[in-house]
Amino acid sequence: QSKNMTDCPPIEGGGSLVVAYRIADKNVLIVGGGNVAAQRIKSTKIADAKVTVVAPAQGLNDEVQHRINNKEVNWIDRPFQDADLDNVDMVLTALDDHDESLRIGKLCRERRIPVNVADVPPMCDFYFMSQHRDGPVQIAVSTNGKGPKLANMIRTTVSEALPPNMGDIVKHMGDLRAKVREWEPVIENAERRMGWVTRLCEQWGLQQMGRLRTIEDFDGFYTKLRTYFEKNEIPCINDVLGPISNTSQQGDGQGQRASIALIGAGPGDPELITVKAERYLKEADLVISDRLIPQPMLDLVQGELRVARKTQGKSDPAQDELLEWCLEGLKKGQRVVRLKIGDPLVFGRGGEEILWFREKGYEPELVPGISSAFSGPMAAGIPVTMRGVSDQVIITTGRGTKGSMPDLPDYGSSRTLVVLMAVGRASDLKAILLDQKQYPQECPLAWIENANCPQERVIFGTVANMDTLVQEQSIVAPAVLVVGNSVSVLSK
């Protein structure tokens, strides 16, 4: 289906083309021998370039001299000459002589040689970014010449947020990708192969992938993992690496007592959960999560994470499996968190789960979350109640027990209707509202997709085109439907 081009955001110019430029075995000329030259040597040798330094001996600092002595770079002991540009793929000037730097930059432009002229941004074909390096991981931050110190501060903040030994984790995942390619070498199956690896990364998360560093028997690990790949299933990491050994998993009365907490994840933004919810996610031994919870929220988990399987139209078997996973952890004496989208007790089946756990001898702790029934309309600028416009709000679901249709309310001009899980029932809901509940065709409505997430979309319409909007705009779950005069009151 074609995408409505009016939804495409405008392109903001003024940036740089950010790429990972491969210069292995290319000839790089560095003009100068001071501190900046030392930094440029390091940056280019990381990328395995063939580096030549042009600078008189009296202009070399200790680090550049060390690189020359170790034969890491070639050295020409004299000032720059124009002929030095012959057969060069890239030039980096690191001179205190501003006029000479500009002259070299202009010569490079005439010869179409990429050049970076230190401290003269207009003459640079590219900038050096503030970089974090950990093995195969390279993270670079650019302010496009506006603030190098700020780039360093941003880089430090980003690098400190990463798990320790991130480079080792990436290396092991690279080895895993290569193994999967061996298992499924046919190019026509590349999409299936890479899709499986992507889902495995998303379900395991960065924290759990850190356990790859502890593997001693890689052959056994790959053998177990291949059985899941051939079935196109994603295993829990404990199923292939075994459980983490600690006192909380002994289940014999030692250490802490088993516990279960039902936590509301809110609309999916990690900044919109409670302080207690964040703490519980980080401290839990086992987190059992709904499928639609965004990855940034799951990245908070530091113990084992299991995510609901995708079972189209089979919510009850999926729910049963989640509960059994929880019980499995409780029997081991673990701290278990059941992570639910929105608020556990607002169309989240939280009440059913409380009764189920009580039958098994466990009393769940409840940690509330922000329901998308309220955060969704707020994200769209819709006041579900407002004096003189709407004095009541009714929240219902598009999918009742065993897939039944909800008992929708009659139309009221001062009533706001919020429907969760409505995307797949848009046509049926429209028919009920128009034919049975006396809703006017022109009654305003809004679909809020992925509320409070980076990919959030708000699509306005009326009851008359409720279902066609879903098709034309390719609206997908999770999405909230809001119907009533409150929808348009702030946009008039």
Which residue numbers are catalytic?
119
**Hey, what are 361's tokens?**
């001898």
- Do residues 384 and 390 make contact, with C-beta atoms less than 8 angstroms apart? yes
**The residue type at 40:** R
- Residue 371 CA to residue 177 CA, distance in Å, equals 38
DSSP type of residue 175: H
- Residue 63 CA to residue 71 CA, distance in Å, equals 12
Tokens 């080895």 belong to 175
Strand partners, 288: 306, 338
**Hey, what are 221's tokens?**
């690990």
- Do residues 25 and 2 make contact, with C-beta atoms less than 8 angstroms apart? no
User: Cis link prior to 478 (omega < 30° from 0)?
Assistant: yes
- Residue 176 CA to residue 121 CA, distance in Å, equals 42
Tokens 């205190």 belong to 96
**The residue type at 237:** I
C-alpha triplet 407, 343, 289: angle, nearest 5°: 110
- Residue 337 CA to residue 261 CA, distance in Å, equals 5
- Residue 231 CA to residue 248 CA, distance in Å, equals 32
Q: Do the bridges between strand 27-31 and strand 90-93 make them parallel or antiparallel, or are there none, so unpaired? A: parallel
